[in-house]
Amino acid sequence: MMSVKSILETKKQKTKRENMSVIITTRNKVQEYFDADALNQSTFKLLEKGLDYMLATIAKREKDNEENKALPDYFIIGNAVDLILTGEDGEFEEAFYVSRLDKMPSDAEKEITEHVFNSVDLFAGVVTMDNYGEQILEACNTFNWQANWKAETRVNKIIEKCDTYFQELLMSTGKEIISTEMNERIGNIVNSLKSHPRTSKYFDREAQEDRLDVEFYYQLPIYFKYKGQDCKALMDLCIVGKDSSGNIVFIDPIDVKTMSGYTFDFAGNLRTHRYDMQAAWYIQALQSHFGVETDIIRPFKFVVESTTNIGNPLVFELNEETLALGRDGRPGGMIQGVLDTPLFYSRPIKGFTELVDDYLYYQKTEFNQDKILDENPGPIVIDYFKGIL
């Protein structure tokens, strides 16, 4: 079992980059991308489930961010893997703190501890929870934790379970705290992707440095215009091949994904999360950024590893039909089944071209109400198979 630390310690620190074959975007520039007021695919993609869903999801994200709500494990693992594989050396250590605890507090206990941590004067020199009984009880009430217990019992249990975590919040100075087990899992995922014959070439920076005809862009932020709207996209990895005159002859767009379960099941994740739309959007961004035609851009690839069954990373390449679906969608209609099965109705699927149109429509109407309500002031017709007509 390899930990993140052991992987990072074995990485060779190269100081010379004369040919600049490997270009890694700095963390500050990546943060500027996230802060930029521009449309990205993760926002308009929410409109596939309607305006109310998009607005509710965005509001929940903002609320969770304001309350410093703990991120789910799968999100933390994905971020950490991305940082190590596509970021600069040392970024993982800057962003994450590995806990000394054998067992981390529960999510509810962590929320209470973080609430207390954020509400007290840490400059008073008190670095344990013993002196914060009043704040602990207030936090227990806020999160409705063990409401049937006596107040004293609630406070004492939080101190017993969370005092070390409280101290680690102080030592971590704003970093994301992860358990030893999660740290080892992240390390094993990274090691699998960097060592497996199917995926190692995408992360072998030493070999990439020696390429004079290819540039490897890690965490490439792209800003572009689409239908008059300021837009953005962030590529995990973009490989750009050039001829002797410096003309671009091919572009390989690549995105790294982690998932639970087995990597062979990635096709289901692609449909559920509409990664076809993400890939099509990124290709649109690359065309604009590099000023190339679509035939220069090779098929989009997802490099995928499991977080629960580590060791069988796969590379999935999207065919043109899938990319066209992500771009243009598909109208609903009757489709002939296989062999002797009868016709069946296939629901319409929106691509990013239609969803961006929807977004621009809502932008003009100040996101007031769903477009279908504007178009149908009376009763809304519904069909058993087709849904809302």
pLDDT tens figures, 130-167: 889 999 999 999 999 999 999 999 999 999 999 999 98
* Record: fold of 14-64+204-389: Lambda Exonuclease; Chain A (3.90.320)
10 Å Cβ neighbour count for 202?
22
Looking at the chain, the whole-number percentage of residues with pLDDT higher than 90 is: 71
Asked whether the beta carbons of 199 and 303 are under 8 A apart, the reply is: yes
d(Cα 154, Cα 139) in Å, to the nearest integer?
Answer: 10
pLDDT band at 16 (very low <50, low <70, confident <90, very high): very low
**Lowest mean pLDDT segment, chosen from 66-75, 189-198, 368-377:** 66-75
pLDDT at 124: 60
Q: Of all helices (H) and strands (E), which one includes residue 351?
A: none
Q: What is the pLDDT of residue 155?
A: 95
* CA nearest to 30, candidates 91, 93, 78: 91
pLDDT tier at 9, thresholds 50, 70, 90: low
pLDDT tens readout for residues 88-143: 989 999 999 999 888 889 989 999 998 998 888 766 666 789 889 999 999 999 99
For residue 56, give Cα distances in angstroms to 42, 49, 53, 64, 300: 14, 11, 5, 12, 31
Residue 18 has pLDDT above 90, yes or no: no
What is the average pLDDT across 354-361? Answer: 96
| Averaged pLDDT of the chain | 89
Question: What is residue 137's predicted lDDT score, i.e. its pLDDT?
Answer: 95
CB 312 within 8 A of CB 306: yes
pLDDT of residue 346: 76
Burial class (CB in 10 A: 0-12, 13-18, 19+), 220: buried
End-to-end CA distance of the chain: 55
State residue 381's pLDDT score.
86
CA distances from 100 to 168, 180, 183 (A): 8, 7, 11
Rounded Cα gap, residues 353 and 330, in angstroms: 11
* Burial track 102-111 (b if 16+ CB lie within 10 A, e otherwise): eebbeeebbb
Token pair recorded at residue 259:
């998932």
Interval 200-259: pLDDT, tens: 999 999 999 999 899 999 999 999 999 999 999 999 999 999 999 999 999 999 999 999
17-26, 327-336, 344-353: least confident range: 17-26
